[in-house]
Chain A
Amino acid sequence: MLDLRKPAGLFFLILGVLLAGFGAAGAAKAPLLEMNLNLYFGVFSILFGGVFLWLSRKA
């Protein structure tokens, strides 16, 4: 059966690249936000997805 870590890892990796790329181009604004949330979340998402993919390769 399909190893869920592969699609889950790939999803968060792509999501992270999209957000980090968008964030790196400039901080998008929200009324009460004071940081580049897209960039930080994007990097976290890339790491999260990467760990999942790495775990699925090991198995």
Chain B
Amino acid sequence: MTLHFLDYSILILYFGFVLGIGWFLRKSVSSSSDFLTSGHSLPLWITSLAFLAANMGALEMIGMCGSGAKYGMMTSHFYWVGAVPAMLFVGVFMMPFYYGSRARSVPEYLKLRFDEKTRGFNAITFAVMTIFSSGISMYALGILLQAIFGWSFTFSVLVSAGIVLAYTYLGGLSSAIYNEVLQFFLIVAGFSPLAILAVQKAGGWGGVSSKLKPVMTESWKHLGSPADNPMGVEVIGLVMGLGFVLSFGYWCTNYLVVQRAMAARNMTDARNTPIVGSFPKMFIPFIVIVPGIAAVAIASMNIGYALPLKNGGPDYDKVLFSLMEQFYPSGMLGVGLTALIASFMSGMAGNVTAFNTVWTYDIYQSYIRKDAPDSHYLWMGRMATVFGTGLSIGAAYMAQSFNNMMDFLQLIFGFVNAPLFATFLLGMFWKRATANGAFTGLVTGTGAAALTYGLTLAEGKGGWLGVVHTFPSSMAQNFWVAINAFVVCFLLTIIISLAGKAKPDAELAGLVYGVTPHQAETAVWWRRPAVLAVISGILCVALNFLFF
């Protein structure tokens, strides 16, 4: 495929704006707090869109479109069962403690609530996870640009990583957040036409449904048994594994997203950040999943389009691009390509800015150099941005041994976020939970995740300790890795806590539900988190029924 001069112009125009925003925002950085946490200064509409965009990496665009083609409408569970309920939960119930405790990061909350070792464990595992996530995003972009445009893997990765590094180095978190919002608009604008054109070509949604098996366009009806659907999962694995453990684990405890809400100006805005973000989030499946489903329908029409192939089978990771090739002319192709690169950059910037804060505050300031002047931590934040980017490039090569990137990422979340969600549930809502209980639960839960993966097999993955069970798909395996990690962490934290002595109530005020004085919400009724959450919840349930 040949790119027109106009396509390159759009790409360069976008890069210019992204760097320009970083350049303008450099003046507003004068302390480590400005650089790493935006100094609690950003308006709600910006934090809520950044909350979404930080998660909309290249993986979201390429992986979800591929999953749409592979698993059909069931992929929407990642949004309607997973993300949206979790975003409402974190906004209504958990944000008062994150924001109210004045902790600068999620690991720091764990230090205030439990102790130093729990914070240290979480900070280190989180830092490793952000590097992996960023590396996977980079890998996705690298292979895509290499395969489609013939750009070398190294060139694609270095140019994109260099731009992310430049604007996050200059303007810190504010710059990353501003650019995430610009990227969000570009991603939506760049991919909505593709969804509309693809569905229209297949004869509307009715045409898509008539050309495919019902399992491709219905999200709930085929969950009785793993054999009934291409995802290989049943309703309990899905609702518990994906819905409850993985999604709540990700959206409620992952500092990458929570950091965006903590940059808000006040408590009401911080709580509303994920709730307001849930409204656009529930409609994202229509631009990322539906095109993948429509692609399968169009491929069955014999009009010159076929699903891309790899090793004799469909290459789902290239479905999105094959559609762009069919529907986007020069010009619009530049917009789509720029949106794809933007999605990569927003995912990477999110990881890098979360990494540099956790590294600087929770690892460097806690264990390496405690009492340095603030200017030193500002410098270290910038250095962490540089070496975090470098490590991500290294991680990109490790992602190559897994053929479905989404499965790989879910696996990492199973190891890190699933047990952490149990720790937070007990830490925030049960004052009896102790530091030793939390730490033991967290370490053992993560161990249980590794053990489950090591003893089970799915699509040739896992089973390095022996095979006691074989899952029909790696997706099902990941869900059960997460469930086991959560349950082990939850039970062990309770047992060890009951055997120890809890902190006195006075030390837990502002950190735990029940011993924190209730603060009346002063915002007008239509801006109250509970009201907005109920409206969002009703809409989300309606979407589930619409595509039942």
Flag if A18 contacts B6 (CB, 8 Å).
yes
CB-based nearest B residue for A35: B197
A residues 17-53 with Cβ under 8 Å of B? 18-19, 22-23, 27-33, 37-38, 41, 44-45, 48
Say how far A4's CB is from chain B's closest CB, in angstroms.
5
Say how far B462's CB is from chain A's closest CB, in angstroms.
40
Report how far A48 CA is from B185 CA in the complex, Å. Answer: 10
Known: A1-B25, A32-B305. A8 touches B182 (CB 8 A): yes
Report how far A15 CA is from B15 CA in the complex, Å. Answer: 13
Flag if A15 contacts B10 (CB, 8 Å).
yes
Partner of A12, one of B6, B185, B328, B332: B185
Flag if B329 contacts A37 (CB, 8 Å).
yes
Flag if B182 contacts A30 (CB, 8 Å).
no
Residues of B within 8 A of A23 (CB): 331
Partner of B329, one of A7, A28, A44: A28
Prevailing SS type, chain A contact patch: helix
Interface residues on B, range: 35 or more
Report how far A45 CA is from B13 CA in the complex, Å. Answer: 14
Residues of B within 8 A of A22 (CB): 6, 330-331
Partner of B182, one of A11, A14, A28, A37: A11
Flag if B335 contacts A15 (CB, 8 Å).
yes
Partner of A38, one of B181, B298, B329: B329
**Is there a chain A Cβ closer than 8 Å to B471's Cβ?**
no
Say how far A23's CB is from chain B's closest CB, in angstroms.
7
Report how far A23 CA is from B46 CA in the complex, Å. Answer: 32
B residues 288-316 with Cβ under 8 Å of A? 298, 303-305
Partner of A30, one of B10, B17, B329: B329
How many residues on chain A are close to B (CB under 8 Å)? 27
Contact digits for B175-187, partner A, Cβ 8 Å, 1 yes 0 no: 0001001100100
**Is there a chain A Cβ closer than 8 Å to B279's Cβ?**
no
Report how far A32 CA is from B9 CA in the complex, Å. Answer: 24
Partner of B335, one of A14, A19, A29, A32: A19
Partner of B201, one of A19, A27, A32, A37: A32
Report how far A13 CA is from B20 CA in the complex, Å. Answer: 16
Residues of A within 8 A of B305 (CB): 31-32
Known: A2-B25, A2-B178. A30 touches B14 (CB 8 A): no
CB-based nearest A residue for B328: A30
Partner of B328, one of A4, A7, A8, A37: A37
Flag if A32 contacts B326 (CB, 8 Å).
yes
**Is there a chain A Cβ closer than 8 Å to B174's Cβ?**
yes
Partner of B327, one of A10, A19, A32: A32
Report how far A19 CA is from B21 CA in the complex, Å. Answer: 23
Report how far A30 CA is from B178 CA in the complex, Å. Answer: 33
Report how far A38 CA is from B333 CA in the complex, Å. Answer: 9
Say how far B276's CB is from chain A's closest CB, in angstroms.
16
Known: A1-B174, A8-B182. A37 touches B193 (CB 8 A): yes
Report how far A30 CA is from B323 CA in the complex, Å. Answer: 10
Known: A2-B25, A32-B326, A33-B197. A8 touches B181 (CB 8 A): yes
CB-based nearest B residue for A52: B185
CB-based nearest A residue for B28: A1
Residues of A within 8 A of B182 (CB): 4, 7-8, 11
CB-based nearest A residue for B38: A1
28 contacts between A and B (CB under 8 A): A2-B21, A2-B28, A4-B21, A7-B17, A7-B21, A7-B24, A8-B181, A12-B185, A12-B189, A15-B10, A15-B13, A18-B6, A19-B332, A19-B335, A22-B331, A28-B4, A28-B329, A30-B327, A30-B328, A31-B304, A31-B326, A32-B201, A32-B305, A33-B197, A33-B328, A37-B193, A37-B328, A38-B331
B positions within 8 Å CB-CB of A:
4, 6, 9-10, 13-14, 17, 20-21, 24-25, 28, 41, 46, 174, 178, 181-182, 185, 189, 193, 197, 201, 298, 303-305, 325-333, 335
Identify the 4 closest CB pairs spanning chains A and B, nearest first: A28-B329, A38-B331, A32-B326, A30-B329
